[in-house]
Amino acid sequence: MAERILMVDDEPRILDGLRRTLHGRYQIDPATSGAEGLTRIADAAEPYSVVVSDMKMPVMDGAEFLARARVASPDSVQIILSGQAELSSTIAAVNEGNLFRFLTKPCEPNDLTRALDAALEQHRLVMAERELLQRTLDGAVELLTDLMKATNPFAAMRTERLRVLVDAVAPVGAWEPRIAAMLGQVGLMAIPEPVLAQVRSGEPLDAGNDELFRGHPRLAYDLIRRIPRLERVAGWVAEQPVAFSEKPPVDMDDDQAPYATAVAFLVGVEGGLQPGQAAGGLSGYPKDLVDQILQVYVTAQVRKPRRVTGTELMVGMIVDQDVLTTNGLVLLRQGEVLSESMAIRLRHFAGGVGLVEPIAVLV
């Protein structure tokens, strides 16, 4: 990622002087007002590593600009370059905004470069920590979904379908809908297989089993809410529909909508509705999301059938039959998408105990 610095000052001559002083050392974009600075932030291909702002500017002063910039680009490290006359307001802005540094004008080049180098290093540390946390979370989620595939084919199949739909319609960089799609069905692992078999076949459940099945979102909520940073995701999962007739969650916002809409659509399809019928019955959900989900679902279902040996099984294939060992053990249920770990596991079985072959797949 390119490390770029945004410098905002209403005096062009000061910006020109700063650019000449720092030329060759940093990639700098200038802006002569807070409004122009916000536009540059919005239009940037990647977030700025550092944002430097004057305090005393017309229309929008530095404190207001930096407060709005923090919302638009929360990971950018912020520095104020202020005149002595604005010192009191600068100190207030530092105390209220968790700013990284403030420098006074005129600023010696060595002082400025030291501050910018420190700010860039701070940005690298923040991003490295975020990447580590994200990779750790992703790894834990992947492990859990692989366990789901090994123990609960129904939950695994729904999870994979949700992941495909949510990834296609959620905004770029929105990680919470993706995590919800991968963890939201974990409560199904507590539902006995005979009950899930009845659900898959469309058979009515007796009162006790119906109550048990309807409780799976709450079971998932109780597990997910214990994970740091996933409190909102847990709330979405608790509100996911179990029956197609249920209304959308109350106060559903734009972040929750991709997951909630995808779950509602799949509940309808799994209940025996044609994809178009399911989409048409989702009143109360955002129409643009419903249309996108329908298109993605129909496109994803268009695959070509093949018959392969166990050693030819690859990531991304959908098994079109139950996969059995030669001694009758069911390893995978029809309809599952092969993950990397599952494909490796099946190839090992093919070379050892043996699989019933050929295996029908969709590619």
Between β-strands 323-324 and 330-332, what pairing exists: parallel, antiparallel or unpaired?
antiparallel
Residue 220 sits at the vertex; the CA angle it makes with 341 and 229, to the nearest 5 degrees, is 85
Could you list the pLDDT tens digit for every one of the 363 residues in the chain? 568 999 999 999 989 988 888 888 899 999 999 999 999 999 998 999 999 999 889 999 888 899 899 989 988 999 988 876 566 666 666 666 568 888 888 888 888 999 999 999 999 998 888 787 777 777 777 777 777 766 777 787 788 889 889 999 998 778 899 899 989 999 998 898 888 878 776 778 899 999 999 999 999 999 899 887 889 999 999 999 998 888 999 889 999 999 999 999 999 988 878 899 999 999 899 999 999 999 998 887 656 788 999 888 887 788 888 899 999 888 888 877 787 778 888 888 998 889 999 999 887
Residue 9: what pLDDT? Answer: 93
pLDDT digits (tens, 9 = 90+) for 59-91: 998 888 998 999 899 889 999 888 765 666 666
Residue 177: what pLDDT? Answer: 93
**Of the candidates 124, 181, 132, the residue with the CA atom closest to the CA atom of residue 155:** 181
Contact 101, 71 (CB under 8 A): no
CATH no., domain 152-302: 1.10.3210.10
Residue 24: what pLDDT? Answer: 81
For residue 192, whether the previous peptide bond is cis, meaning omega lies within 30 degrees of 0, is no
4-128, superfamily in CATH?
Response regulator (3.40.50.2300)
- DSSP H helices, 152-271, are 153-169, 175-183, 193-201, 207-214, 216-224, 231-238, 257-270
Domain edges within the chain: 4-128, 152-302, 303-363
Asked: is 303-363 a CATH 3.90.105 domain? The reply is yes
Instruction: Give CA separation, 175 vs 47, 55, 135, 182, in Å.
Output: 17, 34, 12, 11
Residue 41: what pLDDT? Answer: 96
